[in-house]
A and B are shown apart, each in its own frame.
Chain A
């Protein structure tokens, strides 16, 4: 993990000096994580892909503004977060952070497994903020302070969103997971 951070920092420095190759290496390292974060947030592959590309483009254009090169990951996810919520507001201007998103049959039939469908359905019932907190913690493995940096809010807010989401999810998913184990 330490080596990875050092290498990312070196690549950021090279990219700042105009090395497109170094930045492409950073893209290849983070692309899948950013794409899946955005996919679970906006729940549309094409939108997630467009947002991924936009995230990396803005990242390259704003590399000079990154104060600590070793914090490239959280900084990149902050850009991705801004891009995603900008799109969500454009597509659903009436939606606030606390409203539940509607089901979308096209994107929810991505996986045939019953449990996977149940997980997608349960995630979809969360608010955007709650779902994002779950994605950042459970799928991306960020620490609370990193999530606070990405979401630009206090750690207490991060924990509040995450734990409220988990309280909703565990009522649905824990029994299913228990049955699937049996």
Chain B
């Protein structure tokens, strides 16, 4: 292998192929110039690495800020699972819309369903109608009884009023008769006295 300084540097930094590595290792043992080059590189790197790393004087940290946060659609776009859910949602919506716009192509099951509904309605009506009638009749009877009682009470009061009025009229008539009798008696007594 001939001397190629850049190859020695590649080998020094470990950036050669497996085949070149073995060949260069053998060459460095045989070639004093390349061996010296390799040693000077090692010393140079050792010297460079005496320069220590420094700690940053202040640490950098970020706080949550809406200004710098990605928007909801950016997060959605960057999220595989979320995008999958969004796709599934859109597919569901499409299925629902398609189903809503489909023509009614199967009337028979609908008719069957209609008959069943009518039977169910009839049964429901029958179940509810009799109690409703009974309740209505009872309510009417109560209302009639109350009206009859009110009428009887009114007639009774009318009768009592009339009875009292008649009694007062009789009493008045009796007093009139008594007064006329008294006047007639006095007139008769006076006439007898004059004769």
Chain A residues engaging chain B, CB cutoff 8 angstroms: 16-18, 20, 23-24, 27-28, 31-32, 35-36, 39-40, 45, 49, 52-53, 56-57, 60-61, 64, 111, 113, 115-116, 118-120, 123, 134, 137-139, 143-144, 159, 162-163, 166, 169-170, 173-174, 176-178, 180-181
Contacts and interface: CB of A to CB of B under 8 A. Distances in A.
B43 interface: yes
Nearest to B55: A32
B63 interface: yes
B48 A169 contact: yes
A27 B60 contact: yes
A23 B64 CA distance: 11
Contact of A31 (B9, B15, B56): B56
A10 B22 CA distance: 38
B63 A119 contact: no
Contacts, number: 112
A17 B78 contact: yes
SS of A interface (majority)? helix
Contact of B6 (A52, A60, A118, A159): A159
B56 A35 contact: yes
Contact of A116 (B46, B51, B63, B64): B51
Interface of B: 5-6, 9-10, 13, 15, 40-41, 43-64, 68-70, 74-75, 78-79
B61 to A, nearest CB: 5
Contacts of A116: 50-52
A173 B48 contact: yes
A60 B64 CA distance: 12
26 contacts: A16-B75, A17-B70, A17-B75, A17-B78, A17-B79, A18-B69, A18-B70, A23-B62, A27-B61, A32-B56, A35-B54, A56-B62, A64-B70, A111-B51, A116-B52, A119-B48, A119-B50, A138-B49, A162-B9, A170-B41, A173-B47, A173-B48, A174-B40, A174-B44, A177-B46, A178-B43
Contacts of B64: 20
Nearest to B80: A13
A17 B81 CA distance: 12
A36 B50 contact: no
B16 to A, nearest CB: 11
A137 B56 CA distance: 21
